[in-house]
């Protein structure tokens, strides 16, 4: 078995199964055992509270289903004005209405903190296509004139099992376009309760990939002048073995590495975080698993034992905002797994040399003439 596959099996699949099947069960038992009668009743009923509006904006992509929709709900309960950025307008508007209704009937955590009003956050939808550069600019324009500062960007949109080219466009270029489009708004000085934070939703699948760009690849040789994006010559064949999905998740983490090192140090400094929600039973995973396997896992109850729910996955992403570590100004890799910092990441994901190569052959050509880079960005890559 190849080294990269072995590390994925051990540090990815096996670790996540242990977390879901053993640790999660233990925590549930402990939580119920030590809870008061009132607390146990609230747990059984699923009682939640909301915080007054922070008057800060959070943008969540791919938010009309699975983890994304639950992230929107969690952020709304935390008082953020949430912008749902997704492809399906009908589902997006329906979700915005649904979340508003849920928040409206959720009791405030502290009436005193509402400053004389109900502290209701706003929930809105904007159509967003991760594979269309102009779509990222439209999102930025839609919130540019808001009186509230932009504090959170969660790049959650992603696909698997589609064409190799589209997988890279959605999973890598989409977050790059949107991040650079929103960086000027996140860099504005404003009163915030949360340091401006970009969360790139990661996956342990990145452990399967040893590289994004292979030095010996004919594709890279055809594009060694760096004037054309490597993606432009990537074949549009189906990613049946999910190898390109793994590469796209590695590439996204390398993009985070570039951001942490090349963003200008300023006030406020923008925090860049990679966060893997764990093994989650999402629509995306179910679609790729196949109907027969899904029915078997559901019927036997194994799905609930092996996988997290979408709500649990969302909580693992939103938990990034609860941690005081690491400091916002850190340039070191910040990788959360199951809501905890210090997750096992591949050395390739933090490789600055590999990240520069990705910037040169993929990101820079794709961004040129489309998105303005922030002032102070760099240093420029050197041949």
With a cut of 60, say whether residue 2 has pLDDT above it. Answer: yes
- Tell me the two tokens of residue 69: 């929709």
Count Cβ atoms below 10 Å from residue 309 Cβ, excluding itself.
Answer: 15
Strands (E), 141-280: 150-155, 197-201, 271-276
The SS3 of residue 172 is helix
**pLDDT grade, residue 382 (50/70/90)?**
very low
Count Cβ atoms below 10 Å from residue 298 Cβ, excluding itself.
Answer: 13
**pLDDT grade, residue 83 (50/70/90)?**
very high
With a cut of 60, say whether residue 107 has pLDDT above it. Answer: yes
Residue, of 87 and 23, whose pLDDT is higher: 87
With a cut of 70, say whether residue 141 has pLDDT above it. Answer: yes
Q: What is the mean pLDDT of residues 87-109?
A: 93
Q: Are strands 57-61 and 123-127 parallel, antiparallel or unpaired?
A: unpaired
**pLDDT grade, residue 123 (50/70/90)?**
very high
The SS3 of residue 201 is strand
Q: pLDDT for 9-54, tens place per residue?
A: 899 889 998 898 888 887 777 766 665 555 544 545 455 788 888 9
pLDDT score of 157: 96
Compute the 3-state secondary structure of the chain and give helix, strand, coil in percent, each to the nearest 5: 50, 10, 35
pLDDT score of 156: 97
pLDDT score of 221: 58
pLDDT score of 145: 85
Q: pLDDT for 259-298, tens place per residue?
A: 999 988 776 788 999 999 998 877 676 766 666 766 777 7
CB distance 32 to 43 below 8 Å:
yes
SS (HEC) of 252-277: HHHHHHHHHHHCCCCCCCCEEEEEEC
Q: pLDDT for 156-202, tens place per residue?
A: 999 998 999 999 999 999 999 999 999 999 988 787 888 899 999 99
Q: pLDDT for 202-246, tens place per residue?
A: 999 999 999 998 765 555 655 555 556 677 778 788 998 999 999
Hey, which of 224-233, 330-339, 366-375 has the most confident mean pLDDT? Answer: 366-375
Q: At which residue do the structure tokens 């009937």 appear?
A: 105
Mean pLDDT of the chain: 85
Separation CA 279–CA 292 (nearest Å):
20
pLDDT score of 115: 47
- Tell me the two tokens of residue 31: 């939580």
CB distance 53 to 77 below 8 Å:
no
Of the chain, the percentage scoring pLDDT greater than 90 comes to 53
Separation CA 237–CA 234 (nearest Å):
9
pLDDT score of 294: 65
Q: What is the mean pLDDT of residues 239-256?
A: 95
Helices 243-262 and 174-186 pack at an angle, to 10 degrees, of 20
Question: How many angstroms separate the Cα of 182 from the Cα of each of 141, 263, 370, 374?
Answer: 9, 13, 13, 10
- Tell me the two tokens of residue 127: 């159509």
Q: pLDDT for 297-311, tens place per residue?
A: 777 777 778 888 999
Q: Which domains does the chain have, with CATH numbers?
A: 3-21+50-367 (3.40.50.720)
Separation CA 66–CA 74 (nearest Å):
13
Q: Look up residue 238 and give its DSSP letter.
A: B
**pLDDT grade, residue 116 (50/70/90)?**
very low
Residue, of 252 and 105, whose pLDDT is higher: 252
pTM above 0.85, yes or no: yes
Q: What is the mean pLDDT of residues 327-348?
A: 84
Query: Residue 205 — φ and ψ, nearest 5°?
Result: -60, -20
């Amino acid at each position: 078995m190849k080294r990269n596959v072995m590390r994925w099996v051990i540090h990815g699949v096996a670790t996540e199964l242990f977390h879901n099947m053993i640790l999660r069960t233990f925590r549930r038992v402990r939580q119920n055992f030590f809870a008061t009668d009132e607390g146990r009743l609230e747990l059984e009923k699923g009682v939640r509270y909301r915080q007054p509006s922070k008057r800060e904006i959070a943008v969540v992509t791919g938010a009309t289903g699975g983890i994304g929709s639950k992230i929107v709900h969690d952020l709304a309960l935390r008082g953020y004005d949430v912008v749902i950025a997704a492809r399906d307008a009908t589902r997006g508007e329906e979700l915005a209405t649904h979340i508003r209704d849920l928040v409206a009937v959720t009791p405030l955590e502290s009436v005193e903190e509402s400053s004389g009003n109900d502290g209701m956050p706003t929930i809105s939808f904007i159509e967003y296509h991760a594979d269309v550069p102009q779509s990222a600019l439209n999102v930025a324009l839609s919130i540019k004139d808001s009186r509230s500062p932009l504090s959170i960007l969660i790049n959650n949109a992603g696909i698997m099992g589609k064409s190799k080219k589209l997988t890279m466009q959605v999973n890598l270029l989409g977050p790059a376009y949107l991040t650079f489009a929103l960086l000027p708004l996140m860099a504005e000085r404003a009163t915030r309760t949360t340091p401006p934070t970009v969360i790139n939703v990661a996956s342990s699948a990145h452990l399967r990939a040893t590289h994004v760009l292979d030095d010996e690849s004919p594709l890279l040789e055809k594009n060694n002048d760096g004037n054309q994006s490597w993606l432009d010559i990537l074949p549009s064949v189906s990613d049946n073995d999910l190898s390109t999905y793994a590469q796209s998740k590695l590439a996204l983490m390398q993009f985070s590495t570039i951001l942490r090192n090349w963003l200008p140090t300023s006030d406020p400094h923008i925090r860049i975080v990679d966060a893997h929600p764990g093994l989650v039973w999402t629509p995306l995973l179910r679609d790729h698993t196949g109907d027969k396997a899904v029915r078997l896992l559901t019927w036997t109850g194994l799905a609930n034992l092996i996988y997290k729910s979408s709500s649990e996955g969302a909580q693992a992403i939103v938990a990034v905002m609860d941690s005081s570590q690491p400091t916002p100004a850190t340039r070191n890799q910040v990788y959360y797994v199951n809501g905890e910092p210090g997750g096992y990441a591949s050395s390739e994901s933090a490789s600055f040399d590999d990240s520069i190569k990705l910037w040169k052959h993929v990101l820079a050509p794709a961004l040129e003439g489309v998105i303005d880079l922030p002032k102070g960005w760099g240093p420029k890559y050197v041949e």
